[in-house]
Chains A and B, each alone.
Chain A
Amino acid sequence: MKKGNGAGLRWGVLLVLAGILLVYPLVERNAFYIHLLVMIFFYIFLGLGWNVVGGFAGQLSLGHTVFYGIGAYTSTLLFINLGVSPWLGMFVGGILATLTSVVIGVPCFRLHGPFFAMSTLALGEVFRILATYWRDLTQGAMGISIPVKFGWRNFIFEEKAVYYYVILAFTVVALGVSYWIHRSRFGSNLVALREDEEAAESLGINVPRNKLWAIMISAFLTALGGTFSAQYVLFIDPDAEFSVGLSLLMAILPILGGVGTVWGPVIGAAVLVPLQEGLRAWLGSSLHGLHLFIYGGLLILVVTFLPRGILEWIQAWGRKAIPSLFPTPLLEKPAVPRSNHFMAWSWLTPKGTGDGTLMEVKDLHKNFGGLAAIRQVSFQIQRGEILGLIGPNGAGKTTLFNVISGFYRPDGGKVIYHGEMISSLHSAYLICRRGMGRTFQLVKPFPSISVLENVMTGAFLRAKAHAAAQEDGLEILELVGLYGIRNTLGKSLTISDRKRLELARALATRPDLLLLDEIMAGLNPKETAEAINLIRKIRDHGITILIIEHVMQAVMSLSDRIVILHHGEKIGEGTPREVAADEKVIKAYLGEEYVLT
């Protein structure tokens, strides 16, 4: 299947759909159907807005109505009181919503999961109550009617079809934004932090800032939706504009469609809004709430059994039925030979220059609850060497890694890297950006994205564009031997592949010092031998390696030098031979009195 045909077919289908959407209102006489289309695209638009922070970034907000309401009230109040065109008012509302999102986001992003959700839910209610209470400004529960004066400047139209074209345009913009996010470094960062915040930090991603940007964009778009709604209905009140039900719908529709994807919110709304409006029209006020009842039931089923939404179903079916319309990315090697940007390993100073100490740890000390986890640990690592870190259970090895890589702050001593004292930096992502990459003892593959996308989250640190990041990713996958399974999802990998992926992802950030935490654990002898070779290969290209290991044969054969920790202190240092013969080491591992002659 050649790539060309598939792309052509996809564009063809899109153009036909676009054509239908543009022409339809001109031929349809029944206002109800036009209204239905307006509703569908309205919810698509809102869903796309929510999806930026709720889907891509994984921050499950149940309070988006705050931004919606701010948009609706700002533009309306400016229009009614100052005669400002709602188009302008809409942007003002968007900006206000964006500012509010920062005020909300900074404290609330410290919460996760259900607690974040609850706090946003509570805030939505706070705004609703304030809007009701602050009658002088908002007319409270009585609401505000917008006088019906048609005209483009007033953003009030007699023909529903015009509203339809407006919301269609909004939706195209939102789709564009979503698609851009999906392909950009920003989007990759969001996905990474959604899947695992710690791992994202280790790849140089400034997690708090990225979350804020996500909610700012989301808030802006949502506010636009609020203004549109105000201009469509021509009446606003706190219960409608700050409605919990709306917050829920903004989340539910994308989730049902396929959370965190570009097309998920589209599918969700396109499938369910007609159902909702249809039920409303058909049943009127009897069985009020049936559509929500159905949504609720679907929600339970979807999150329990089909977490990736209806879209996943459609894609699975589509891949079998019409493969050229639903391609699996990069099934074949591209015909054009790849550039060797990554494999030039050009970011590493060539051996021979810059010899000497790459990193120094001096008198490092870290306490946990009164107990010293590491105490007075000092050593250096030379450029281009492999330094092994060993020690019995609880010796403090991983703690040491966490302090060096910036995940813990030391209580004493310092870490000097590239001549800079990095132990005073307060965030791990800054240290990664300076060239230190790491893996984690309990591997953290990003489960819901592919192997290639996983590696790209790291590659995006240095590569600016999607194409470059992808190139790097493919090269690295070939190096570590994962090219063949580049489209497999992170959660479906075997342990050996997960470890390789973790290594590949860290490598993608173009480090000159790589910290490997028990990367051999759980591997069988053959896999262990492969891992040893790979690590040697990486070092031979010029990367310095600090490795924690328990698999003794591995660390002994790999390391140029070894440092031993026991009860948080360094009890020995030297070549592998020296260390294995060291009495103190033998005692530490095998217990007192064991020493064999």
Chain B
Amino acid sequence: MLETILQLAINGLTLGGIYALIAIGLTLIFGVVRIINFAQGEFLMIGMFATFWIFSLLKIDPYIALFIFTPLLFLLGMGTERLIIKPILNAPPIAQIFSTFGLSIVLQNGALMFWKSDYRSLETAYSNAVINWAGLMINVPRLVAFLVAVGIVILLYLFLQKTYLGKAMNAVAQDRDAAQLMGVDINKIYMVAFGVGIGLEGLAGALIMPIYATYPTVGFTFGLIAFVVVVLGGLGNMIGAFLGGLIIGLVESFSGFYISPELNTAIYFLIFVLVLIIRPSGLMGIVGAEEMGLK
């Protein structure tokens, strides 16, 4: 009994780490740029497909591919900010919602046109590797993803606290005008923040490719999960996204076992709606909730 619970907890935590990894980019973008990027999941999808293809065609391992695609997606993110986000920064909600929504549709269907709807997965030497720890089984790629998630949170925290660029982002998130009065080039910050947020999806995509199959609409599923995590944790809050991810991972793990795996998604979507209604600022509170109409 206890063993089951512990196993479920381990599974939940490692799953949660993955979810956290996917959600961190979304929450960073919201915190700094104040935009909800409905296409966030699609960038994850791009990262996954890129990893898949480079493995299939060039036999490059995902853990190496991530060093290629993280910076590439960072650049892609910066370009997206310039082209698509900048024009709608001060536009009414309908434009801000449907512009990134439009982007997500374009990316999903672009992928569909090029790569068809088949599921693609890859198998590496360690895809199914398992560590046995005191009788509990821990899947290696999941563990790696979890550890990377922890590492990213720490790195980001240090970045935001210790580097001038990071502090500038922090300042912009807390008070945009005051930041400008400190000499912060706000357009540059938006671009970099968006780039980082998307680059993180590239990283996540490479890390989860050994675990999940990819297909054009995989971004939709993971994207929604990212929203749930971000809202639960508190928009714009990095630690919140990490904790939120762990909680959702645990919920999924336990409800999958005790209730039904099919109802997993329904359960955490319900949690999502409940959080939005009851405590929209999430666990850790939001940086600037009222602006976005959460009252």
Contacts and interface: CB of A to CB of B under 8 A. Distances in A.
Q: Do A and B bind each other?
A: yes
A59 B204 CA distance: 33
Interface residues of A, number: 44
Interface stretch (B12-20, B147-155, B266-274): B266-274
Given A111-B280, A122-B273, A292-B109, A304 B97 contact: no
Interface in B44-94: 84, 87-88, 91-94
Chain B interface, DSSP helix/strand/loop, else mixed: helix
B224 A121 contact: yes
Interface stretch (A3-11, A39-47, A294-302, A316-324): A294-302
Contacts of A115: 231, 276, 280, 292-294
Interface in A246-305: 248, 251-252, 255, 259, 287-290, 292-293, 295-300, 303-304
A447 B96 CA distance: 17
B106 interface: yes
A19 interface: no
A277 to B, nearest CB: 16
Q: Point out which of A60, A297, A300, A307 has the most chain B C-beta atoms below 10 A from its C-beta.
A: A300
Contacts of B228: 122
A303 B276 contact: no
Interface stretch (B3-11, B112-120, B136-144, B156-164): B112-120
A108 B273 contact: yes
A292 B42 CA distance: 15
Given A60-B93, A113-B93, A290 B109 contact: yes
B94 A307 contact: yes
A108 B97 contact: no
B113 A293 contact: yes
A112 B293 contact: yes
Nearest to A285: B116
B273 A119 contact: yes
A296 B262 CA distance: 30
A58 B93 CA distance: 10
B94 A259 contact: yes
Contacts of A292: 105, 108-109, 112
Given A119-B276, A133-B262, A303 B108 contact: no
A126 B99 contact: no
A293 B106 contact: yes
A289 B109 contact: yes
Nearest to B88: A304
The 5 lowest CB-CB distance pairs between A and B, nearest first, are A112-B293, A296-B105, A299-B102, A289-B112, A296-B106
Given A115-B294, A299-B105, A300-B103, 20 more contacts: A60-B97, A60-B98, A108-B273, A110-B277, A112-B292, A114-B96, A114-B97, A115-B293, A122-B273, A125-B266, A126-B265, A126-B269, A126-B273, A129-B266, A289-B112, A296-B105, A299-B101, A300-B106, A303-B99, A304-B84
